[in-house]
């Protein structure tokens, strides 16, 4: 299995992007998000939760998933109608 390099600016980036009091983290299996939770808690964040088992467990348990349907680019015909 491949290894992933840890983002040295992760905590700084989360702090600059998200100002909520609650943080819910998830990844495919739940392991990387668990490590990310540990980093955030060590940095003083509160109310940090991991989606146990990740996205795979979410799907396995039949929890809802919303999939965005991409908007197709305009065709010359549809652009002419605008």
Whether 73 maps to a domain, the answer reads: yes
Structural domains counted in the chain: 1
- Tens of pLDDT, residues 30-78: 999 999 999 999 999 989 999 999 999 999 999 999 988 888 888 887 7
Neighbour tally for 54: CB within 10 Å: 20
Catalytic residue set = 27
36 and 10 Cβ atoms separated by less than 8 Å = yes
pTM for this model (two decimals): 0.70
Q: Three-state SS for 50? A: strand
Note down the domain range covering 68.
10-80
Q: Is residue 1 a part of any domain in this protein?
A: no
Give a yes or no: residue 44 inside a domain.
Answer: yes
């Amino acid at each position: 299995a491949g290894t992933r390099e840890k983002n040295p600016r992760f905590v700084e980036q989360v702090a600059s992007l998200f100002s909520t009091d609650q943080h819910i983290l998830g990844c495919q299996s739940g392991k990387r998000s668990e490590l990310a939770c540990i980093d955030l808690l060590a940095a003083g964040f509160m109310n940090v939760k991991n989606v146990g088992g990740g996205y795979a467990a979410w799907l396995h348990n039949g929890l809802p998933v919303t999939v965005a349907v991409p908007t197709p680019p305009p065709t010359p015909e549809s652009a002419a109608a605008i």
